[in-house]
Amino acid sequence: MIPAGALHCPSLALWLGSPSNPVGAYQHFHFVENPSLRSQAVAELRKAFEAAHLHAKEKYESFVAHDLDPLPASTPTPVMGYPGCLHSTTLQAYIGEILAGILAEHTAFHGESQWRVPAFLFSAHEIIVTEMERAWRQQRPPGQIPGRTGDDCLAFKMENGKITKLLYCEAKCTISHNASLIANAHHALSTQELGDIIKLATIVREAKTAESETWFLALRECFLRRNNPPRSNLFVYVHAQEPIQRGSWMSTTQPHAKYTTTRHPLAAAEVRISDITRLISELYH
């Protein structure tokens, strides 16, 4: 469970800019880094990223350092370096998903300013655990793993203990630019149904706090209700390459051709950050 306010980054709007809020069934947002404010923003982002990974980190470390049989402090374990020990492509994916969640809580996508991300679903990505253990046994760094299936990031508006709105987020992060990532994300948002409420509720409840219990009950009620709350979609595209022929990689006026549904309004957010490889190092190493 991510405590309220843990994803707050006061310098975010100064670092990436604060685009005006468009209206309509399709909304385009363009965030561009101000490099001179990077160090201040990264310092805040580190805290937000630590909060995003805390559930998984505590879960892995509690298995290794059991209270009744503690390992010596110097004993190497397969999880002590999580998440920084993971392959750069995995960390790159994390940056996309976590920035999507952070932007959701800082931006009035679809005219809503109270979006909340209670937890990140990558906390339950079991392939990560398998790869870390195999790497530890083989005395090598963790390698590249298949991308996680299911929902990237889910944000909600909760009122009086009940979920009233859903923001379904798809995120992509590339060190340069990749048009196929944009196309694939729009196709996924068009066709993918909500499928990870049970998983998210399980992650949230493990925090065992009053706040987490409130969220668990709200998510459980959302699942049992069967009919989803009103859903809006968000695509966050984090990249480093400035477009040459126009100001943005995605249209500012209409959805991508691969976005074929009319059931859910779409917000598309481009986030241009110089040197994604360096950002990975700044946040994880």
In a domain, 73, yes or no: yes
Q: Answer whether the bond into residue 22 is a cis peptide, omega within 30°.
A: no
- DSSP state for residue 252 in the 8-state scheme: S
The whole-model pTM stands at 0.94
Compute the mean pLDDT over every residue in the chain, rounded to the nearest whole number.
92
pLDDT tens by residue, 26-45: 999 999 999 999 999 999 99
Q: Is residue 6 part of a domain?
A: no
Task: Kindly state whether residue 3 falls inside one of the protein's structural domains.
Answer: no
Query: Does 4 reside within a domain?
Result: no
The CA distance from 105 to 113, in Å, is 7
Domain assignment present for residue 243? The answer is yes
pLDDT band at 228 (very low <50, low <70, confident <90, very high): confident
Contact 121, 200 (CB under 8 A): yes
Confidence band (pLDDT; 50, 70, 90) for 22?
confident
Please state, in angstroms and rounded to a whole number, the distance separating the CA atoms of residues 166 and 155.
6
3-state secondary structure 121-139: HHHHCHHHHHHHHHHHHCC
Query: 87 burial class (0-12, 13-18, 19+ CB within 10 angstroms)?
Result: middle
Has residue 75 been placed in a domain? Answer: yes
**Domain of 205, in residue numbers:** 12-284
Question: Is 5 inside a domain boundary?
Answer: no
Number of structural domains the chain divides into: 1
Q: Is the pLDDT of residue 135 over 60?
A: yes
- Predicted confidence at residue 150, as pLDDT, reads 81
Q: Would you state the structure tokens that stand for residue 119, as one six-digit string?
A: 């937890």
- pLDDT tens-digit profile of 101-111? 999 999 999 99
Phi, psi values for residue 250, rounded to 5°: -115, 155
- Is residue 238 situated within a structural domain? yes
**3-class DSSP string for 15-42:** HHCCCCCCCCCEEEEEEECCHHHHHHHH
